[in-house]
Amino acid sequence: MLVCTAIYMIVAWRTLFVCRLGRSCPDMSCDLIFDSSEWQSVWAVIHRGERAPPLVEMVGLIAGLGGYVARGSGALPPGVETVGKGLQRMRNLAWAWQTFGPGTPKAK
């Protein structure tokens, strides 16, 4: 039970870290927080671009993967639950990007 709690604490810490940093440092580049496979996979799926977006935009995209819908300019920032779900989906995309994405050796 202790090991399970420790893993949950790590996941919860990262989720809160991404949420809070996205709100307090919106102009920071997202490649300082996420691995290249993480941000490139999400960015390529949604925008098909190759530049690193600002952190606030990346957090919004990740929250969108978790079900967040921004309703106009007065929308509340994404919460921990939608960011957490989006981080799970981002890890799936990053795994697929590392396995099948550009730059991986092709099977013969």
Give the mean pLDDT of the chain: 86
- Report yes or no on 57 lying in a domain: yes
Residue 59 falls within a domain, yes or no?
Answer: yes
Report yes or no: 24 and 59 within 8 Å, Cβ to Cβ.
no
Asked whether residue 108 is domain-assigned, the answer is no
Within-domain flag for 52: yes
Cα separation, 59 vs 65, whole angstroms: 10
pLDDT tens digit string along 62-105? 999 999 988 877 778 888 999 999 999 999 999 998 888 777 77
Instruction: Dump pLDDT digits (tens) for 13-61.
Output: 989 999 998 889 889 988 888 888 888 888 888 876 677 888 888 898 8
Q: Which residues contact 18 (CB under 8 A, 6 or more apart)?
A: 33, 59, 62, 83, 87
Q: Please say whether the dihedral angle defined by the alpha carbons of residues 41, 42, 46 and 49, taken in this order, is positive or negative.
A: negative
**Which CATH number covers residue 55?**
1.10.740.10
User: Radius of gyration of the chain from Cα atoms?
Assistant: 15
Total domains, the chain: 1
Range(s) of the domain holding residue 53: 2-100
CB atoms within 10 A of CB 56: 17
- Distance of alpha carbon 25 from alpha carbon 7, whole angstroms: 26
